[in-house]
């Protein structure tokens, strides 16, 4: 009896998890491949025709290929902001952890504010307008960097404490300049946490709705989440296309996650939970 | 023979590494945050700002729809945080015990955390449709009348909160799993020898020792709940009426209407809320540490 | 190879002075050991020589050049760390060649020099491995290789053997001694283990609380310790030291006599005592005596000694081996 308990509980858990956590995804996937009339029934019946490609193309074509443009914009924003973020936050986390300076306390408090406090949107819009970056991709990228720096820096700072200082000193003796110590000795050793950071930040920035809503309105610079939101009103009767859109928007992060699954969990817990 | 002492030898950790990040962060985050304190005291249209003292704040605490937003924010935050913490811990306990397909289940539970909030919002809005939605249709077949999840003003906020918990519990579970893993099995073995039941073990050992993780989960979910916007906007846009408005949606609505000063005042109130709730909370929690 | 001089070197961390005015002359090619208990400042002093810590005052010259304020890489030193500090993400070859790579030397030159260095340390077959795939002894050789390739004027060793187990330690001691004989370079070696210092050094600097207690060759320190501290530090088992009343009766502040300089007899002698415990080590035996007028006394005798626990014996100091401080 003891031996089967894990299996019985496991089976029940699996069934419950399937219903609660998987069902909505299955629902989305199902409606996404149905025809317009079938989808409007919003049930779990299997489709008579498998209209995956037709629906996909239809969604992409809508409003002059707006989704394609949105994909391009979102990807561009994500890739560039994450790159800048990684570089800048590793640099700061490194000096914060290694060097005893009064600036550390100041930085710490400033970063904590960034983790907790919501950004002041309207003043930021005003500011962006003054520098001429409102409604621009550059502005959006810089915003994403600014808003995600706190988490990123604290993550690096925590992890860098596991890299022994001896290595810095050995490099110093070998003749490394400060820049070289960072780029050739420390940064390569930060790979695990960098991977985690890239995954977490990419998913967060790709899925971000609020910030593009405020700072990047307008058709030319539309992002994926915004497009999805707008399609809601457009496809009020075409549920199949709406759900295909949802599917297309939710797939990339899932792919990224499945690919890097182990790294995320390891990276978040190493030096994360216990500070 | 002897050199005069040069200015103090440079540290191998250059301070200029701070500069690029400091500039971006300072200009695009810190500065607007500080200036919002000023702007919240004005009637503002982005080109001119007229000082009006605390009028914006007075409005927030007197106009019914604004007050509702405030109250809703607190309800939403506490509800989602509480549910995420409790369910997260229970799930974590389940997923660290010896059950079949444990790793697979963990991944499954975490999926919703990764997907687009808007996507989730739209999906559940459709599923929660009062007559055609799959949830109510299923309830009908079981003989239970399905409520108007998002159409009933009294329920709308809670419905969104439930979806929020569905989406976010995976992260809480992940954090709790890490926290549980840090508890040495020795404690449980000693307790078993002392004759403690599973339930007693949970309350006397697990709960106290998982405190660090609990603090993190509660803090993160409270802050997230107070700031929540995406899901509410996608599902109800603060409706029906303004029964599910929260501060974040109020901020946006006032911005859209051109009341920039009022909108910014909402921001300041949100800061204050977070500071007032989180700071004492973390202090309280950290003081009641558990000696290992 | 070069000589090294420290003049009145002081180091304070805030209000705490950890190095209190050290003067030291090291001749070219000498092997100098820095010994002392934990916290005596020996590692700090080494790091000051390396340039990893700044002096608060005082000067340091290497090869006649004042390097008090020079960068570590500009002093002509190389250091082997206690943890070896090998770059985990680089291969052995890259580790050894890192300094040259930083200086922008051409790849062919680096490869040649690395190969030559690896050859002398029998590391050639390990060149493509990463540090985590090496044993403790191999890692140490890589650390040494990284130091050698710099052709330093002075080699610095910071407790390099403390991470190794006992048998490996003895072997590595020999290898380092061999290295010194081969390269004939100036070496400064920090250790808390006086056996290492005694067996490897030409000259030992005994440090205590940031100040130099004595500098001398191993045998000098053994035969003529300048202070009770040095007397008690050098030599194993420790010298018997007696202060207070006992010392005054013997006309000094502290009276010392080494366990190996005491002869036991059944008949008569200077002090009478009861044997509390005997440790038989094979070649030697260590006897712990309770002597009423002195207290506890440790005596080293031949392994076959007939004296056993519980017996009462007479103890006699060897002529000329008594120390009065």
Query: CB–CB of B122 and A239 under 8 A?
Result: no
**Residue C20 maps to which CATH number?**
3.40.50.300
Asked whether the predicted pLDDT for residue B160 surpasses 90, the reply is yes
Give bridge partners of residue C181 from the DSSP assignment: none
Angle, nearest 10°, between helix axes A239-269 and B102-114? 120
Q: What Rg do the C-alpha atoms of chain A give, in angstroms?
A: 23
pLDDT > 70 fraction of chain C, expressed in percent and rounded: 100
Nearest residue to A84 (alpha-carbon basis) of A132, A135, A149, A133: A149
Can you tell me the distance from the alpha carbon of C235 to that of C229, in angstroms, rounded to the nearest whole number? 12
Label residues C49-72 b or e (16+ Cβ within 10 Å = b): bbbbbebeebbbbbbeeebbbbeb
pLDDT of residue A273: 36
Out of C52, C78, C83, name the one closest to residue A164 (CB).
C83
Q: How large is the average pLDDT for residues A86-93?
A: 95
Q: What is chain A's mean pLDDT, rounded?
A: 85
Question: B: neighbours with 3+ CB pairs under 8 Å?
Answer: A, C
CA distances from C9 to C72, C210, C322 (A): 17, 10, 34
B49's tokens: 């700002």
Residue of chain B whose Cα is closest to the Cα of A18? B108
How many structural domains does chain C have? 2
Interface list for chain B against chain C, based on CB atoms closer than 8 Å: 1-3, 5-6, 8-9
| Look-up of token digits 């596991």 | A162
Q: Which domain holds residue C152?
A: 4-231
Q: How large is the average pLDDT for residues C182-211?
A: 92
Residue-range domain boundaries for chain A: 62-269
SS3 assignment, position A120:
coil
pLDDT of residue B4: 47
**pLDDT band at residue B285 under the 50/70/90 scheme:** low
Asked whether the predicted pLDDT for residue C191 surpasses 90, the reply is yes
Residue where a domain terminates, one of C231, C265, C284? C231
- pTM of the predicted protein model: 0.84
Which residue segments constitute the domains of chain B, with CATH numbers given?
49-286 (1.10.3720.10)
Asked whether the predicted pLDDT for residue B1 surpasses 50, the reply is no
**Residue C317 maps to which CATH number?**
2.40.50.140
Can you tell me the distance from the alpha carbon of A240 to that of A234, in angstroms, rounded to the nearest whole number? 12
Nearest residue to B103 (alpha-carbon basis) of B113, B94, B95, B114: B95
Can you tell me the distance from the alpha carbon of C49 to that of C154, in angstroms, rounded to the nearest whole number? 10
Query: CB–CB of B2 and C59 under 8 A?
Result: yes
B52 near B38, Cβ under 8 Å? no
* Statement to judge: residues C87 and C210 lie in one domain: yes
| Look-up of token digits 């590494």 | B17
Each residue's pLDDT tens digit, A4-51: 666 677 677 778 877 888 888 888 888 888 877 777 777 777 777 777
Among A175, A180, A186, the strongest candidate for a mutation testing the C interface, having the largest count of C CBs within 10 A, is A175
In Å, how far is B8's CA from the nearest CA of chain C? Answer: 9
Asked whether the predicted pLDDT for residue A2 surpasses 60, the reply is no
Fold exhibited by the domain A62-269: MetI-like fold (1.10.3720)
Which residues in chain B have Cβ-Cβ distances shorter than 8 Å to A254? 111, 114-115
* Statement to judge: residues C189 and C292 lie in one domain: no
Residue of chain A whose Cα is closest to the Cα of C151? A174
pLDDT of residue B87: 93
Distance of alpha carbon C202 from the chain centroid:
11
Asked whether the predicted pLDDT for residue A176 surpasses 60, the reply is yes
A146 near B29, Cβ under 8 Å? yes
C275 near C287, Cβ under 8 Å? yes
Each residue's pLDDT tens digit, B51-72: 888 888 888 888 888 888 899 9
B273 near A143, Cβ under 8 Å? no
Q: How large is the average pLDDT for residues B165-186?
A: 91
| ipTM score | 0.85
Which residues in chain B have Cβ-Cβ distances shorter than 8 Å to A268? 174, 178
Distance of alpha carbon C293 from the chain centroid:
35
* Statement to judge: residues C71 and C207 lie in one domain: yes
A192 near A260, Cβ under 8 Å? no
Asked whether the predicted pLDDT for residue B3 surpasses 60, the reply is no
Question: How are strands ordered across the β-sheet holding C323-324?
Answer: C240-242, C255-257, C323-324
Q: Between these two residues, A80 and A261, which has the higher pLDDT value?
A: A80
Query: CB–CB of A167 and C52 under 8 A?
Result: no
Nearest residue to A252 (alpha-carbon basis) of A215, A230, A225: A225
* Statement to judge: residues C204 and C245 lie in one domain: no
Label residues B167-195 b or e (16+ Cβ within 10 Å = b): bbbbbbbbbbbbbbeebeeebbeebeeee
Residue where a domain terminates, one of C231, C264, C289? C231
Weakest mean pLDDT among A5-9, A212-216, C175-179, C298-302: A5-9
Can you tell me the distance from the alpha carbon of B247 to that of B233, in angstroms, rounded to the nearest whole number? 12
A38 near A240, Cβ under 8 Å? yes
Q: What is chain B's mean pLDDT, rounded?
A: 86
| Largest separation between any pair of C-alpha atoms in chain B | 99
Can you tell me the distance from the alpha carbon of B213 to that of B172, in angstroms, rounded to the nearest whole number? 9
pLDDT of residue B157: 92
Q: What is chain C's mean pLDDT, rounded?
A: 91
Between strands C31-35 and B49-51, the pairing is unpaired
* Statement to judge: residues C180 and C304 lie in one domain: no
Weakest mean pLDDT among B96-110, B234-248, C179-193: B96-110
Out of A28, A42, A92, name the one closest to residue B18 (CB).
A92
B269 near B60, Cβ under 8 Å? yes
Residue where a domain terminates, one of C231, C254, C278? C231
A187 contact C CB<8A: no
Alpha helices in chain B (DSSP H): 19-25, 31-39, 55-62, 64-96, 102-114, 117-127, 134-141, 153-181, 185-193, 198-201, 207-209, 211-227, 230-235, 247-256, 260-287
In Å, how far is B12's CA from the nearest CA of chain C? Answer: 10
pLDDT > 70 fraction of chain B, expressed in percent and rounded: 93
Residue C320, CB half-sphere, CA atoms under 13 Å: how many?
Answer: 2
Which residues in chain C have Cβ-Cβ distances shorter than 8 Å to A170? 79, 81, 85-87, 146
Weakest mean pLDDT among A159-173, B52-66, C16-30: B52-66
Asked whether the predicted pLDDT for residue B229 surpasses 90, the reply is yes
Tally of residues, chain A: 275
pLDDT of residue B292: 36
pLDDT of residue A275: 30
pLDDT of residue A121: 92
User: Which of A10-19, B34-43, C81-90 holds the top average pLDDT?
Assistant: C81-90
3-state SS string over B144-158?
CCCCCCCCCHHHHHH
Query: CB–CB of B28 and A142 under 8 A?
Result: yes
Q: Residues C233, C236, C240, CA angle at the centre, nearest 5°?
A: 70
Nearest residue to C36 (alpha-carbon basis) of C54, C52, C50, C18: C18
A155's tokens: 């993550």
Residue of chain A whose Cα is closest to the Cα of C143? A170
* Statement to judge: residues C69 and C104 lie in one domain: yes
* Statement to judge: residues C200 and C259 lie in one domain: no
* Statement to judge: residues C84 and C183 lie in one domain: yes
Give me the torsion for CA of C16, C17, C18, C19, rounded to 10°: 170
* Statement to judge: residues C223 and C293 lie in one domain: no
Question: How are strands ordered across the β-sheet holding C271-280?
Answer: C262-265, C312-317, C271-280, C284-291, C295-302
Query: CB–CB of C69 and B6 under 8 A?
Result: yes
pLDDT of residue A59: 82
**What H or E segment, with its residue span, contains residue A256?**
helix A239-269
Phi, psi of B242 (to 5 degrees): -130, 30
A10 near B100, Cβ under 8 Å? yes
* Statement to judge: residues C312 and C222 lie in one domain: no
Q: What Rg do the C-alpha atoms of chain C give, in angstroms?
A: 24
Nearest residue to C302 (alpha-carbon basis) of C258, C257, C264: C264
């Amino acid at each position: 009896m003891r031996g089967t308990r894990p299996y019985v509980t496991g089976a029940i858990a699996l069934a419950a998890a399937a219903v609660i956590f998987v069902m909505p995804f299955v629902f989305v996937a199902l409606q996404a491949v149905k025809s317009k009339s079938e989808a409007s029934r919003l049930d779990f019946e299997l489709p008579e025709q498998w209209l995956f490609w037709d629906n996909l193309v239809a969604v992409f074509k809508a409003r002059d290929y707006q989704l394609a443009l949105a994909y391009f914009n979102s990807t561009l924003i994500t890739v560039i902001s994450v790159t800048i973020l990684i570089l800048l936050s590793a640099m700061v986390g490194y000096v914060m952890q290694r060097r005893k300076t009064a600036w550390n306390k100041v930085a710490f408090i400033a970063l904590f504010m960034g983790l907790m406090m919501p950004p002041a949107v309207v003043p930021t819009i005003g500011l962006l307008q003054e520098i001429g970056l409102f409604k621009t991709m550059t502005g959006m990228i810089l915003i994403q960097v600014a808003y995600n720096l706190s988490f990123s820096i604290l993550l690096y700072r925590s992890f860098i404490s596991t890299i022994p200082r001896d290595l810095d000193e050995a490099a110093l003796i070998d003749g490394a300049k400060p820049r070289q110590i960072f780029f050739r000795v420390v940064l390569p050793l930060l790979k695990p946490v960098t991977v985690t950071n890239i995954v977490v930040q990419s998913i967060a920035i790709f899925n971000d709705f609020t910030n593009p809503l405020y700072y990047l309105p307008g058709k030319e610079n539309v992002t994926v989440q915004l497009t999805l939101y707008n399609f809601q009103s457009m496809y009020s009767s075409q549920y199949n296309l709406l759900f295909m859109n949802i599917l297309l928007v939710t797939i990339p992060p899932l792919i990224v996650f499945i690919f890097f699954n182990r790294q995320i969990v390891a990276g978040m817990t190493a030096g994360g939970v216990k500070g | 023979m002897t050199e005069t002492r040069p200015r103090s030898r440079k540290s191998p950790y250059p301070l200029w590494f701070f500069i690029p990040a400091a500039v971006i962060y300072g200009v695009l985050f810190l500065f607007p945050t500080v200036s919002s304190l000023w702007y919240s005291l004005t009637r503002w249209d982005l080109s001119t700002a007229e000082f009006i003292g605390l009028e914006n704040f007075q409005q927030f605490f007197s106009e019914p729809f604004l007050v509702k937003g405030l109250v809703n924010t607190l309800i939403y935050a506490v509800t989602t945080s509480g549910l995420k913490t409790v369910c997260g811990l229970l799930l974590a306990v389940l997923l660290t015990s010896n059950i079949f397909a444990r790793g697979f289940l963990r991944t499954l539970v975490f999926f919703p955390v990764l997907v687009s909030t808007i996507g989730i919002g739209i999906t559940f809005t459709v599923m929660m449709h009062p007559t055609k939605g799959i949830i109510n249709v299923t309830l009908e077949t079981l003989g239970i009348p399905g409520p108007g999840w998002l159409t009933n003003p009294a329920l709308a906020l809670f419905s969104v909160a439930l979806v929020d918990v569905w989406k976010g519990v995976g992260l809480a579970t992940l954090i709790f799993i890490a926290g549980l893993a840090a508890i040495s099995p020795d404690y449980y073995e000693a307790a078993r020898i002392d004759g403690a039941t599973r339930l007693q073990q949970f309350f006397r050992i697990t709960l106290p020792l998982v405190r660090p993780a609990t603090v993190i989960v509660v803090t993160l979910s409270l802050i997230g709940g107070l700031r929540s916007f995406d899901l509410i906007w996608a599902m109800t846009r603060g409706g029906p009426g303004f029964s599910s408005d929260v501060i974040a949606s109020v901020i946006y609505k006032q911005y859209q209407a051109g009341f920039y000063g009022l909108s910014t005042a909402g921001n300041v109130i949100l800061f204050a809320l977070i500071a007032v709730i989180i700071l004492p909370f973390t202090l309280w929690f950290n003081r009641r540490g558990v000696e290992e | 190879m070069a000589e090294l001089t420290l003049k009145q070197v002081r180091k304070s961390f805030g209000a705490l002075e950890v190095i209190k005015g050290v003067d030291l002359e090291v001749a070219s090619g000498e092997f100098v050991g820095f010994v002392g208990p934990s916290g005596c400042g020996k590692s700090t002093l080494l790091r000051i020589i390396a340039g990893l810590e700044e002096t608060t005052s005082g000067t340091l010259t290497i090869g006649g050049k004042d390097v008090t304020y020079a960068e570590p890489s500009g002093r002509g030193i190389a250091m082997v760390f206690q943890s070896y500090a090998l770059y985990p993400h680089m291969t052995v070859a890259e580790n050894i060649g890192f300094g040259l790579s930083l200086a922008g030397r051409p790849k062919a030159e680096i490869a040649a020099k690395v190969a030559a260095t690896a050859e002398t340390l029998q590391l050639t077959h390990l060149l493509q491995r990463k540090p985590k795939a090496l044993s403790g002894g191999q890692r140490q050789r890589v650390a040494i290789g990284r130091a050698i390739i710099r052709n330093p004027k002075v080699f610095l060793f910071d407790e390099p053997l403390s991470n190794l187990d006992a048998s490996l330690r003895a072997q590595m001691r020999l290898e380092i001694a061999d290295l010194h004989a081969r390269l004939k370079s100036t070496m400064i070696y920090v250790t808390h283990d006086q056996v290492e210092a005694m067996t490897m050094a030409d000259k030992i600097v005994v440090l205590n609380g940031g100040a130099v207690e004595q500098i001398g060759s191993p045998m000098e320190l053994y035969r003529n310790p300048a202070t009770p501290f040095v007397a008690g530090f050098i030599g194993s088992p420790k010298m018997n030291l007696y202060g207070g009343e006992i010392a005054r009766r013997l006309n000094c502040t502290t009276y010392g006599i080494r366990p190996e300089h005491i002869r036991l007899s059944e008949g008569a002698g200077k002090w009478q005592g009861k044997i509390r415990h005997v440790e038989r080590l094979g070649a030697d035996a260590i006897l712990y005596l309770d002597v009423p007028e002195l207290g506890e006394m440790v005596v080293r005798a031949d392994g076959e000694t007939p004296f056993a626990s519980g017996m009462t014996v007479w103890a006699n100091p060897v002529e000329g081996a008594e120390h009065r401080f």
